[in-house]
Amino acid sequence: MISERIEEAINKQINAELYSAYLYASMAAYFDANALSGFSNWMRIQVQEEISHAVKFYQFLNDRGGRVILTALCAPPTQWPSPLAVFEEVYKHEQDVTRLINGLADLAAEEKDHMSKELLQWFIAEQVEEEASADKIVQDLKRVGDNGHGLLMLDREAARRVFVSATSSKT
């Protein structure tokens, strides 16, 4: 059985992961509207990742005898001044998600919930990857600046990204 505090916190995290998917879907739509299909692909892969993260928490909560409670999601932004601004927001958002995951890990330690701590170790490692990936694109976009050829090159690179499910393993 899972504690009420952990159950509530995981429910909040499920909804945060779903909001992340919603945000990245909006960003994909922005890139589609601006004829940057590679960046749109990158965001659609991110949508799939965030949904798989939500499902991982969902399954864990159910397996522990908890009850999943979904709440309304806020509308995400729909416009950005540039591709760089989009990825700067992605990077900031992933840092916020890292803070949420770390808070969950702190709560699991406080509650002496070793099963939750084990699950959260996977998410902690995942957030290192998420932040690094977003930051790399931010740095690349800063390097190319207003160079249209550089932007096209980065867009084509982003088109090669593929989805790997987080739910393929138990942890």
Residue pLDDT, tens place only, 42-83: 999 999 999 999 999 999 999 999 999 999 999 999 999 999
Residue 166 confidence (pLDDT): 66
Q: What pLDDT score was predicted for residue 146?
A: 86
pLDDT confidence bin for 164, thresholds 50/70/90? confident
More confident call, 57 vs 1:
57
* CB of 119 closer than 8 Å to CB of 60: yes
pLDDT score of 68? 98
* Amino acid at site 137: I
Indicate the domain borders of the chain: 4-166
Distances (CA, A) of 76 to 18, 64, 145, 150, 153: 11, 31, 26, 28, 28
**What burial letters (b/e) apply to 85-107, b meaning 16+ CB within 10 Å?**
ebbbbbbebbeebbebbeebbeb
Helix 37-63 to helix 83-110 angle (10° resolution) is: 10
Q: Which CATH class is domain 4-166?
A: mainly alpha
Q: What is the model's pTM?
A: 0.93
Closest CA to 18 of 61, 76, 102, 90: 76
- Distance, in Å, from the CA atom of 147 to the CA atom of 137, rounded to the nearest integer, reads 15
Residue showing tokens 């540039």: 82
